[in-house]
């Protein structure tokens, strides 16, 4: 007979996400992406309607694109966890998440900054057009590009096999060791800290602007309060996501996948509903249909008109659109 074995046979098993968790996270991500695409389509189709134009549809489109990229990052994360990590997908997931966050929150931050800038400038009326807001978003994206370039050149992530503490014993005495393929760099904690720290700085600016403009209500630009809620929503969900990223064990593949994708999807979907929901649903549809032929000044003009009334009348509430119907000024003052 054969010689007895003095030690158990060692077998390896690669761990990946289960089909159920992949379907749940992938389904939620796909639904969120479809919702975002529908909202963006309505925003672009009716972009010349006063009710839509006053809310800066170009910036709203960038916000929607950012949310769409965040949903895409969740889909990539799901595929990566279920099929096994691939380096190209790891980079794609990171790129989509960072770029999506910067586009979405950058647009929200820029719109909050415009309201704050116009209503807190005591010396003169400030003109801030949509292209100024796009420049703010572009500056944030350039910072992201610099950070990702430094990561790729100095400490590029690579595939690594992690041995998990969990192991199984089978009938013939063999031991099955569980292993997980992950993407990581040698200084992963440092790079995560830099990325999270940079986003946290933007969050602090957003919280500051939202707090400073909390008493400003412009009916024609009802985004002023909505974008403040978006800032707080992003802050809360961002904190939850960071805690989950560092607190959940790496071996809990299903739990990490479902919770992290839910966190990102909920944050993105809530942002879409807050930014686009009031324009599309309920009274928004009636207003769009009613005002399709009305010409309107841009958002900056309406904010400046509201500021004049706010300073003179002591009221922070603009009770009408600054619109021009068939060439006639309905606000009794020239719109510039």
* Tens of pLDDT, residues 104-132: 989 988 888 887 787 776 555 567 788 88
Measured N-to-C along each axis, helices 253-280 and 283-290 cross at an angle, to the nearest 10 degrees, of 40
What DSSP string runs through 35-91? HHHHHHHHHHHTTTSHHHHTT-HHHHHHHHHHHHHHHHHHHHHHHHHHH---HHHHH
φ and ψ at residue 283, rounded to 5 degrees = -65, -25
pLDDT score for 305: 54
pLDDT score for 129: 80
Q: Are 277 and 207 in contact (CB under 8 A)?
A: no
Work out the average pLDDT over 254-262: 93
* CATH no. for 17-153+197-329: 1.20.1070.10
Determine the Cα–Cα distance for residues 243 and 85; give it in Å rounded to an integer.
22
Determine the Cα–Cα distance for residues 75 and 172; give it in Å rounded to an integer.
40
pLDDT above 90 coverage of the chain, percent: 31
Digit-coded pLDDT (tens) for 282-309: 444 444 445 555 444 455 555 555 555 5
Q: Does pLDDT of 64 surpass 70? A: yes
Q: Does pLDDT of 221 surpass 70? A: no
Determine the Cα–Cα distance for residues 42 and 24; give it in Å rounded to an integer.
28
Q: Does pLDDT of 330 surpass 70? A: no
**Residue 334 banded pLDDT, cuts 50, 70, 90:** very low
Q: Does pLDDT of 17 surpass 50? A: yes
Q: Does pLDDT of 332 surpass 50? A: no
pLDDT score for 66: 96
Chain CA centroid to CA 160, Å: 29
Q: In the chain, where are the structural domains located?
A: 17-153+197-329
Beta bridge partners of 317: 217
Rounded to the nearest integer, the mean pLDDT of the chain is: 77
Output 118 or 58, whichever has higher pLDDT.
58
Q: Which of 250, 246, 260, 261 is nearest to 181 (CA)?
A: 250
pLDDT score for 103: 94
Beta bridge partners of 296: 323
Digit-coded pLDDT (tens) for 73-83: 999 999 999 98
């Amino acid at each position: 007979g054969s010689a007895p074995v003095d030690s158990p046979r060692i077998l390896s098993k690669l761990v990946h996400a289960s089909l159920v968790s992949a379907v749940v996270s992938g389904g939620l991500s796909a639904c969120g992406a479809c919702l975002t695409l529908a909202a963006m389509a309505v925003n672009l189709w009716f972009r010349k309607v006063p009710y839509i134009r006053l809310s800066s549809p170009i910036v709203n489109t960038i916000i929607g694109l950012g949310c769409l990229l965040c949903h895409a990052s969740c889909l990539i994360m799901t595929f990566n966890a279920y099929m096994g990590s691939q380096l190209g997908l790891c980079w794609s997931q990171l790129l989509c998440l960072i770029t999506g966050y910067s586009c979405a929150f950058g647009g929200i931050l820029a719109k909050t900054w415009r309201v704050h800038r116009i209503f807190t400038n005591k010396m003169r009326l400030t003109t801030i057009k949509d292209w100024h807001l796009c420049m703010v978003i572009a500056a944030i994206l350039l910072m992201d590009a610099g950070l990702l370039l430094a990561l790729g050149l100095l400490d590029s992530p690579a595939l690594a096999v992690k041995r998990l503490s969990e192991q199984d014993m089978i009938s013939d005495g063999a031991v099955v060791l569980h292993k997980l393929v992950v993407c990581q760099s040698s200084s992963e904690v440092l790079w995560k800290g830099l990325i999270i720290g940079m986003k946290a700085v933007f969050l602090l600016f957003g919280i500051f602007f939202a707090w400073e403009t909390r008493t400003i209500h412009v009916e024609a630009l009802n985004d002023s309060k909505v974008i403040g809620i978006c800032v707080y929503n992003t802050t809360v969900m961002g904190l939850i996501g960071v805690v989950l990223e560092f607190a959940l064990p790496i071996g809990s593949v299903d739990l990490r996948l479902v919770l992290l994708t839910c966190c990102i999807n909920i944050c993105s979907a809530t942002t879409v509903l807050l930014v686009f929901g009031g324009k599309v649903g309920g009274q928004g549809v009636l207003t769009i249909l009613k005002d399709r032929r009305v010409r309107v000044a841009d958002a900056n003009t309406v904010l400046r008109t509201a500021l004049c009334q706010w300073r003179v009348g002591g009221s922070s509430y603009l009770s009408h659109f600054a619109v021009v119907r068939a060439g006639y000024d309905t606000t009794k003052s020239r719109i510039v």
